[in-house]
Chains A and B, each alone.
Chain A
């Protein structure tokens, strides 16, 4: 009964999105049939374009997981964007500056450094929340800007490639680049890593005492406290895990796609992660689905803009509208429940 109604709800959302998309296409003066066939061809047209979905989806899976873990614990981490950059910067520092190490340990160390950097960056917000009661929402947003500017400073000073003079680091040695999985496409080892991390996060959150405690803290900190679960412990774990995952998104984008540290290469995937987590109802196992659907929409819409002149900004409108209607539905159904009680 419950499953069936959930399915019906999802189908309803899909129908509404298609309707809204059609309206937006028509309003931009294109023919819906052309636009949608270009959209689908943009995604499924070639091996390469199809694989782009996984390339674009990989960092979103990780930032989405980051937000889902944090939100489940009641820690409103809006800072995946900054944690992404701190992770990428730490990985760049290790991968580019520790060249006395052989490749494999260097790459592993870069991953560890990226996880730690992201985790510590979000731990600042957790500390300020726990110790001083300062809203983590605001602190993580401030930390985003500090991190973005920090990368700006880094690529102009200690991580700058002296030979180029541009604000960017040296190129990562070819041996240290995460290998591609399919010839002729950009899909890389980061994607299976992201899936493995999804499974790991699901396992931690659902099957371990640690994860159980974190969920209780998120559901009801008061109840957690009286049953002997440390609220601070839950929040700290959640902050480190969440920030670390966002940091890994930065590490993987750096080591597989950009291959140098640059400014502005996250393409807002930290902020998008918040919405991905929400679309996945903060369930780790659903995050890859939401992330890949979003990435596919982006890839298809880019083709639609190129070939049918429909602005790709349509995707942002639709995602925003979907989240808003999810909130509106939650409101209406709570009202209905209230009415039933009275």
Chain B
């Protein structure tokens, strides 16, 4: 290893890159959490993120504005998620099938449109969001670089994390959104408009998932490639479970996945002794173990992936 593994500089750099890798998962994980707590399982998060990545890139490329890109990416994600909502919330169709079909649709659509975009054969590239170091805070040892010397989207994600935490922890609105996922019939009886709220949660999930995809292009790479999310949408699903359906849990889970990823890249450069794939496996194994350990006192919303039919049983 080039740096001393025990040096502060090594850990500071590792943590900073872990935070960057965690950001797409944090966005998508929070989105998926909102959706799942209202009872809608969105396996299509992968497609949501991919659309977010593509549409943000395309819009940023044509307008030259990264912020327009972000909005378009979020809209792209919301589009997929709303189709899912229509089919599953309004239409009561199977959520797994719908999600997988949307993943395939999104994969095809983004690859197709991207091919048309670079028909001229040019290599397309946009700028990426600059790093903004907050005064003083960014000089904190270890944490400074990781949390206070990031791009604007990362700060937004951390703010959103706090906002979502407060909403779910302390407000009536948050309570009613969770109630739908636990017991839609009771929520309905209590006067909560179940379908409307579920559609709202799908919309929010799509906007956040789209932003997660957009983070890849706008903050990390400045370019698009076919299937560039490479399974991050599924990892976001894992982060939600590992995070036990709570915003802070999702954050910690996303950090764990980010850390494993960052460590893996550093190991890859440093050693051949252990294949990095062994390390890449760990977050998934940890998720499974966490599922096993938390079984019986599962936090899974009671009515997850079960369509609510008014007047049905």
Report yes or no: B104 in contact with A319, Cβ–Cβ below 8 A: yes
Among the listed stretches A36-44, A148-156, A189-197, A250-258, which one makes contact with chain B, having 4 or more residues with CB under 8 Å of it? Answer: A148-156
> How far does the Cβ of B263 sit from chain A's closest Cβ, in whole Å?
14
Report yes or no: B284 in contact with A324, Cβ–Cβ below 8 A: no
Residue A271 CB within 8 A of the other chain: yes
User: Given the complex, which residues of A lie within 8 Å of B96, measured CB to CB?
Assistant: 76, 78, 137
User: Given the complex, which residues of B lie within 8 Å of A318, measured CB to CB?
Assistant: 108
List 11 additional contacts besides A134-B291, A145-B281, A150-B277; criterion CB under 8 Å. Answer: A29-B116, A78-B43, A128-B292, A133-B298, A141-B234, A144-B234, A149-B284, A274-B100, A316-B111, A320-B103, A330-B91
Q: Which of B41, B90, B277 has the most CB of A within 10 A?
A: B277
User: Given the complex, which residues of B lie within 8 Å of A153, measured CB to CB?
Assistant: 275, 277-278, 281
State A319–B83 Cα separation when bound (angstroms). Answer: 16
Residue-wise, chain A 325-342 has the 8 Å CB interface mask toward B (1 for contact) of 001101100100000000
Residue-wise, chain B 26-52 has the 8 Å CB interface mask toward A (1 for contact) of 000000000000000101000000000
Residue-wise, chain A 262-282 has the 8 Å CB interface mask toward B (1 for contact) of 000000000110110010000
Residue B214 CB within 8 A of the other chain: no
State A223–B237 Cα separation when bound (angstroms). Answer: 32
Tell me how many residues of A have a C-beta within 8 Å of chain B.
Answer: 49
User: Given the complex, which residues of B lie within 8 Å of A327, measured CB to CB?
Assistant: 87, 91, 93-94, 97-98, 101
Residue A46 CB within 8 A of the other chain: no
State A71–B106 Cα separation when bound (angstroms). Answer: 24
Residue A204 CB within 8 A of the other chain: no
Report yes or no: B97 in contact with A156, Cβ–Cβ below 8 A: no
Q: List 5 A-B contacts (CB under 8 A).
A: A139-B288, A146-B284, A313-B110, A317-B109, A327-B91
Residue B287 CB within 8 A of the other chain: yes
A residues neighboring B (CB under 8 Å): 24, 27-29, 76, 78, 128, 132-135, 137-139, 141-146, 149-150, 152-153, 156-157, 271-272, 274-275, 278, 309, 311, 313-321, 323-324, 327-328, 330-331, 334
Report yes or no: B112 in contact with A24, Cβ–Cβ below 8 A: yes
Known A142-B238, A313-B112, A331-B93; contact A149-B101, beta-carbon cutoff 8 A: no
B residues neighboring A (CB under 8 Å): 41, 43, 83, 87, 90-94, 96-98, 100-112, 115-116, 119, 226, 231, 234-235, 237-238, 241, 275, 277-278, 280-281, 284-285, 287-288, 291-292, 295-296, 298, 300, 304-305
Interface of A is mostly: helix
From B111, which residue of chain A is reached at the shortest CB distance? A313
Interchain CB contact (< 8 A) of A324 among B105, B107, B287, B292: B105
> How far does the Cβ of B216 sit from chain A's closest Cβ, in whole Å?
18
State A311–B107 Cα separation when bound (angstroms). Answer: 12
> How far does the Cβ of B24 sit from chain A's closest Cβ, in whole Å?
16
State A144–B106 Cα separation when bound (angstroms). Answer: 20
Q: Which of B106, B284, B298 has the most CB of A within 10 A?
A: B284
The 8 residue pairs across chains A and B that have the minimum distance between CB atoms: A316-B108, A320-B105, A331-B91, A152-B277, A313-B111, A132-B295, A317-B108, A323-B101
> How far does the Cβ of B60 sit from chain A's closest Cβ, in whole Å?
21
Report yes or no: B295 in contact with A328, Cβ–Cβ below 8 A: no
Report yes or no: B87 in contact with A316, Cβ–Cβ below 8 A: no
> How far does the Cβ of B176 sit from chain A's closest Cβ, in whole Å?
24
State A148–B46 Cα separation when bound (angstroms). Answer: 18
> How far does the Cβ of B182 sit from chain A's closest Cβ, in whole Å?
16
> How far does the Cβ of A78 sit from chain B's closest Cβ, in whole Å?
7
Report yes or no: A316 in contact with B104, Cβ–Cβ below 8 A: yes
Report yes or no: A133 in contact with B281, Cβ–Cβ below 8 A: no
Report yes or no: B237 in contact with A138, Cβ–Cβ below 8 A: yes
User: Given the complex, which residues of B lie within 8 Å of A24, measured CB to CB?
Assistant: 112
Report yes or no: A138 in contact with B101, Cβ–Cβ below 8 A: no
> How far does the Cβ of A145 sit from chain B's closest Cβ, in whole Å?
5
Report yes or no: A141 in contact with B238, Cβ–Cβ below 8 A: yes
User: Given the complex, which residues of A lie within 8 Å of B94, measured CB to CB?
Assistant: 327
Report yes or no: A321 in contact with B105, Cβ–Cβ below 8 A: yes
User: Given the complex, which residues of A lie within 8 Å of B284, measured CB to CB?
Assistant: 142-143, 145-146, 149
Known A128-B292, A320-B102; contact A334-B277, beta-carbon cutoff 8 A: no
Report yes or no: A275 in contact with B285, Cβ–Cβ below 8 A: no
Report yes or no: B87 in contact with A328, Cβ–Cβ below 8 A: yes
Report yes or no: A150 in contact with B281, Cβ–Cβ below 8 A: yes
Report yes or no: A137 in contact with B275, Cβ–Cβ below 8 A: no
User: Given the complex, which residues of B lie within 8 Å of A149, measured CB to CB?
Assistant: 277-278, 280-281, 284
Report yes or no: B291 in contact with A315, Cβ–Cβ below 8 A: no
> How far does the Cβ of A191 sit from chain B's closest Cβ, in whole Å?
24
Report yes or no: B97 in contact with A274, Cβ–Cβ below 8 A: yes
> How far does the Cβ of A168 sit from chain B's closest Cβ, in whole Å?
13
Interchain CB contact (< 8 A) of A29 among B97, B101, B119, B231: B119
Report yes or no: A145 in contact with B91, Cβ–Cβ below 8 A: no
User: Given the complex, which residues of A lie within 8 Å of B237, measured CB to CB?
Assistant: 138, 141
> How far does the Cβ of B57 sit from chain A's closest Cβ, in whole Å?
16
Report yes or no: B112 in contact with A320, Cβ–Cβ below 8 A: no
> How far does the Cβ of B245 sit from chain A's closest Cβ, in whole Å?
12
Known A274-B97, A317-B109, A327-B93; contact A138-B280, beta-carbon cutoff 8 A: no
State A27–B116 Cα separation when bound (angstroms). Answer: 9
Report yes or no: B105 in contact with A28, Cβ–Cβ below 8 A: no
Report yes or no: B92 in contact with A320, Cβ–Cβ below 8 A: no
User: Given the complex, which residues of A lie within 8 Å of B111, measured CB to CB?
Assistant: 311, 313, 316
State A287–B302 Cα separation when bound (angstroms). Answer: 34
From B240, which residue of chain A is reached at the shortest CB distance? A138
State A317–B96 Cα separation when bound (angstroms). Answer: 18
> How far does the Cβ of B139 sit from chain A's closest Cβ, in whole Å?
38
> How far does the Cβ of B21 sit from chain A's closest Cβ, in whole Å?
16
